[in-house]
Chain A
């Protein structure tokens, strides 16, 4: 069970927007299912549709570098705030579209599309 489910958070569903990462599985739970930290350890990671940075920040402690891209500038602003709050330095967030990525060829070892397609 995810840690979200374990928490007693009362009226979460009423007060948190439906797209909020608080309604998603905990990043550790997802990463464990995908194969654990070895999937991202030492890797260059791109999180497409990163939202408020839930997964990007969740995998940052294992990855060499994480880039988070989302078309919503407000989500990116929230992601940057969350990164500052968490003191995570190897993550960079920017607004953008998955169809036009401003990165060179073969720039990443792992791309995450979490609730994006």
Chain B
């Protein structure tokens, strides 16, 4: 990852911006039932251990190039988006197949409620974090004063 970031620094003009955007594994995702107005939380969906480790590696790579003064942190934030499903079975199928998440939700509603609403539309609401970093002049590019 650091290799890629160094290469990105090379092709960026000084002052150019790198946008790093990826799912935010620091907060859980949520399984929600779509209601006529709004959503009802049905469960919590956690990130898989492998993806948590990958995210930490990415964080470390970014931190390293910032320490090396290749980039400077400018701004960061988080947005939420929803992945829609036709019913609860499809949401479960998605969790079984999707590598990012653990394969089962932690339900916060009882079995009877899940069964009663199993044909309703559902979403997974998850966070995406982003950070803007500015490319700094690397030492080799700085002309002597």
Contacts and interface: CB of A to CB of B under 8 A. Distances in A.
Interface of A: 1-2, 4-5, 7-14, 18, 23-26, 29-30, 33-35, 39, 46, 48, 98-101, 103-117
B61 A117 contact: yes
B64 interface: no
B13 A23 contact: no
6 contacts: A2-B82, A30-B79, A101-B7, A106-B16, A108-B11, A112-B21
Interface in B1-51: 1, 3-4, 7-8, 10-14, 16-23
B54 to A, nearest CB: 8
A43 to B, nearest CB: 8
B93 interface: yes
Interface residues of B, number: 46
A110 B17 contact: yes
Most chain B C-beta atoms within 10 Å of own C-beta, residue among A13, A39, A106: A13
A103 B12 CA distance: 10
Given A14-B94, A18-B99, A34-B19, A25 B81 contact: yes
B145 interface: no
Contacts of A108: 11-13, 16
Contacts of B91: 13
B11 A46 contact: yes
Nearest to B59: A117
Given A5-B84, A110-B19, A98 B4 contact: yes
B69 interface: no
A99 B4 contact: yes
A79 B80 CA distance: 25
B16 A117 contact: no
Interface in B118-139: 121, 123-125, 128, 130, 132
Nearest to A9: B84
A100 B139 CA distance: 21
Contacts of B12: 106, 108-109, 111
